[in-house]
Amino acid sequence: MTPLVSGEWLSGHLDEVRVVDTRWYLDGRSGRAAYAAGHIPGAVWVDIDTELSDPASEAAGRHPLPAPERFAAALEDAGIAEGTPVVAYDDAGGSIAARLWWLLHVLGEPVSVLDGGLASWPGELTTAIHEVTPVHRTPRSWPEHRFLTADQVADTTAVVLDARTAKRYAQGDPDIDPRPGHVPGAVSAPWADNLGSDNRFLPAVLLRKRFAALVDDRPVVAYCGSGVTACHDLLALALTGRDALALYPGSWSQWGADPSRPTATGPQSQ
For the annotated catalytic residues, the residue numbers are 224
Q: How far is CA 41 from the centre of its chain?
A: 23
Q: How is the beta sheet containing 187-188 ordered, strand by strand?
A: 187-188, 159-162, 220-223, 245-247
Instruction: Report d(CA 160, CA 221) in Å as an integer.
Output: 5
CB atoms within 10 A of CB 209: 12
Determine contact, residues 146/247, Cβ cutoff 8 Å: yes
Element of type H or E holding 88: strand 86-89
User: For 87, phi and psi rounded to 5 degrees?
Assistant: -120, 120
Strand-pairing partners, residue 237, are none
Specify whether the CB–CB gap between 235 and 208 falls below 8 A: no
Contact 65, 54 (CB under 8 A): yes
Q: What one-character-per-residue DSSP string does 22-74 give? A: ----TTS--HHHHHHH-B-TT-EE--TTTTSSPPPBTTTBSSPPPPHHHHHHH
